[in-house]
Amino acid sequence: MQDEKTKARWDKLWFVTGREQYAHPMVYKHADRGDATMMFHCGAPFCAAWAMDDDHPDPAQRQAKKLLPPSSVQRELTSLLDEAIDKIGVKMKWEAGDFAINDNLGNCHYAPPGTQSDRERCGLRILHRTTILPRGERLPPALAEDGRQSFLVE
Protein backbone atom coordinates (compact mmCIF):
# COMPACT_ATOMS: atom_id res chain seq x y z
CA MET A 1 0.00 0.00 0.00
CA GLN A 2 3.06 2.31 0.16
CA ASP A 3 4.88 4.24 -2.54
CA GLU A 4 8.17 2.85 -3.93
CA LYS A 5 10.35 5.30 -1.96
CA THR A 6 8.77 4.21 1.34
CA LYS A 7 9.03 0.51 0.40
CA ALA A 8 12.75 0.93 -0.40
CA ARG A 9 13.39 2.68 2.94
CA TRP A 10 11.43 0.05 4.89
CA ASP A 11 13.38 -2.71 3.14
CA LYS A 12 16.54 -1.33 4.78
CA LEU A 13 15.08 -1.21 8.32
CA TRP A 14 15.67 -3.73 11.10
CA PHE A 15 13.36 -4.06 14.10
CA VAL A 16 15.42 -4.52 17.31
CA THR A 17 13.47 -6.28 20.06
CA GLY A 18 13.38 -4.95 23.59
CA ARG A 19 14.19 -8.09 25.56
CA GLU A 20 17.09 -10.16 24.27
CA GLN A 21 17.76 -7.64 21.51
CA TYR A 22 17.27 -9.63 18.35
CA ALA A 23 17.36 -7.71 15.08
CA HIS A 24 14.85 -8.77 12.43
CA PRO A 25 14.60 -7.39 8.89
CA MET A 26 11.40 -5.34 8.91
CA VAL A 27 10.44 -6.66 5.46
CA TYR A 28 11.07 -10.37 5.02
CA LYS A 29 9.78 -13.53 3.39
CA HIS A 30 7.12 -15.33 5.46
CA ALA A 31 8.50 -18.71 6.55
CA ASP A 32 5.44 -20.72 5.48
CA ARG A 33 3.62 -18.65 2.87
CA GLY A 34 6.69 -17.29 1.08
CA ASP A 35 5.19 -13.84 0.50
CA ALA A 36 6.66 -10.52 1.65
CA THR A 37 5.57 -9.55 5.15
CA MET A 38 6.78 -7.22 7.90
CA MET A 39 8.00 -7.74 11.45
CA PHE A 40 7.73 -4.92 13.96
CA HIS A 41 6.18 -3.98 17.27
CA CYS A 42 5.00 -0.49 18.14
CA GLY A 43 4.75 -1.08 21.90
CA ALA A 44 7.40 0.72 23.94
CA PRO A 45 8.65 -2.21 26.03
CA PHE A 46 9.00 -4.50 23.02
CA CYS A 47 11.03 -2.27 20.69
CA ALA A 48 14.52 -1.22 21.79
CA ALA A 49 15.52 0.50 18.56
CA TRP A 50 15.42 0.46 14.79
CA ALA A 51 18.54 -0.07 12.71
CA MET A 52 19.17 1.07 9.14
CA ASP A 53 21.21 -0.99 6.68
CA ASP A 54 24.44 0.28 5.26
CA ASP A 55 24.60 0.76 1.49
CA HIS A 56 26.55 -2.36 0.51
CA PRO A 57 25.89 -3.03 -3.19
CA ASP A 58 25.01 -6.69 -2.49
CA PRO A 59 21.79 -6.61 -0.42
CA ALA A 60 22.60 -9.99 1.18
CA GLN A 61 25.77 -8.42 2.61
CA ARG A 62 24.07 -5.33 4.00
CA GLN A 63 24.39 -4.95 7.75
CA ALA A 64 22.33 -3.04 10.26
CA LYS A 65 24.53 -0.09 11.21
CA LYS A 66 22.78 3.17 12.04
CA LEU A 67 20.54 2.96 15.13
CA LEU A 68 17.35 5.03 15.21
CA PRO A 69 15.25 5.72 18.31
CA PRO A 70 12.11 3.56 18.49
CA SER A 71 9.71 6.50 18.37
CA SER A 72 10.93 7.73 14.97
CA VAL A 73 9.67 4.68 13.07
CA GLN A 74 6.89 3.71 15.49
CA ARG A 75 5.08 7.05 15.00
CA GLU A 76 5.10 6.53 11.23
CA LEU A 77 3.88 2.92 11.43
CA THR A 78 1.20 3.67 14.03
CA SER A 79 -0.12 6.58 11.97
CA LEU A 80 -0.30 4.41 8.84
CA LEU A 81 -1.98 1.58 10.75
CA ASP A 82 -4.57 3.99 12.12
CA GLU A 83 -5.34 5.13 8.55
CA ALA A 84 -5.47 1.62 7.05
CA ILE A 85 -6.90 -0.50 9.85
CA ASP A 86 -10.33 -0.77 8.20
CA LYS A 87 -8.69 -2.03 4.97
CA ILE A 88 -6.13 -4.43 6.40
CA GLY A 89 -7.26 -5.31 9.89
CA VAL A 90 -9.95 -7.03 11.87
CA LYS A 91 -11.53 -5.15 14.74
CA MET A 92 -12.49 -7.39 17.62
CA LYS A 93 -15.20 -6.58 20.10
CA TRP A 94 -14.06 -9.04 22.73
CA GLU A 95 -16.65 -10.83 24.80
CA ALA A 96 -16.29 -13.36 27.61
CA GLY A 97 -15.10 -16.68 26.24
CA ASP A 98 -13.61 -15.33 22.99
CA PHE A 99 -10.54 -17.12 21.70
CA ALA A 100 -8.15 -16.08 18.91
CA ILE A 101 -5.17 -17.69 17.21
CA ASN A 102 -2.85 -15.23 15.52
CA ASP A 103 0.10 -15.83 13.16
CA ASN A 104 2.52 -13.42 14.83
CA LEU A 105 4.95 -13.68 11.91
CA GLY A 106 2.47 -12.69 9.23
CA ASN A 107 -0.56 -10.96 10.65
CA CYS A 108 -0.84 -7.46 11.98
CA HIS A 109 -2.55 -7.19 15.32
CA TYR A 110 -2.98 -3.90 17.06
CA ALA A 111 -4.24 -2.85 20.48
CA PRO A 112 -6.06 0.48 20.11
CA PRO A 113 -5.69 3.14 22.82
CA GLY A 114 -7.67 2.38 25.97
CA THR A 115 -7.66 -1.40 25.58
CA GLN A 116 -4.55 -1.79 27.72
CA SER A 117 -5.90 0.20 30.68
CA ASP A 118 -6.27 -1.19 34.19
CA ARG A 119 -8.69 -4.05 34.88
CA GLU A 120 -11.31 -1.91 36.62
CA ARG A 121 -11.63 0.28 33.54
CA CYS A 122 -11.57 -2.18 30.65
CA GLY A 123 -12.03 -5.61 32.25
CA LEU A 124 -9.70 -8.53 32.75
CA ARG A 125 -8.12 -10.02 29.66
CA ILE A 126 -5.74 -12.95 29.80
CA LEU A 127 -3.26 -13.46 26.99
CA HIS A 128 -1.31 -16.68 26.58
CA ARG A 129 1.37 -16.49 23.92
CA THR A 130 2.92 -19.58 22.40
CA THR A 131 5.68 -19.40 19.81
CA ILE A 132 6.34 -22.40 17.62
CA LEU A 133 9.75 -22.48 15.95
CA PRO A 134 11.51 -25.05 13.81
CA ARG A 135 13.41 -27.65 15.88
CA GLY A 136 16.60 -26.20 17.35
CA GLU A 137 15.83 -22.57 16.40
CA ARG A 138 15.98 -19.83 19.05
CA LEU A 139 14.26 -17.10 17.08
CA PRO A 140 11.72 -16.83 14.27
CA PRO A 141 13.25 -17.65 10.91
CA ALA A 142 12.83 -14.18 9.43
CA LEU A 143 14.66 -14.29 6.14
CA ALA A 144 14.52 -11.42 3.68
CA GLU A 145 14.26 -12.11 -0.04
CA ASP A 146 17.87 -10.91 -0.41
CA GLY A 147 19.31 -13.31 2.17
CA ARG A 148 19.43 -11.09 5.27
CA GLN A 149 18.18 -12.88 8.36
CA SER A 150 17.52 -12.23 12.03
CA PHE A 151 20.46 -12.13 14.43
CA LEU A 152 21.20 -11.54 18.11
CA VAL A 153 22.54 -8.02 18.68
CA GLU A 154 25.79 -8.22 20.63
Confidence of residue 93 (pLDDT cuts 50, 70, 90): confident
92 vs 54: which has the higher pLDDT: 54
- DSSP structural state of residue 6: H
Check: pTM over 0.85? Answer yes or no.
Answer: no
116: left (phi over 0), alpha (psi -120 to 50) or beta: alpha
Confidence of residue 126 (pLDDT cuts 50, 70, 90): confident
With a cut of 70, say whether residue 140 has pLDDT above it.
no
Residue 36 bridge partners (DSSP): 29
Q: Tell me how far apart the alpha carbons of residues 23 and 32 are, in angstroms, rounded to a whole number.
A: 20
pLDDT score of 110: 64
Sign of the dihedral defined by the CA atoms of residues 82, 4, 73, 60, in that order: positive
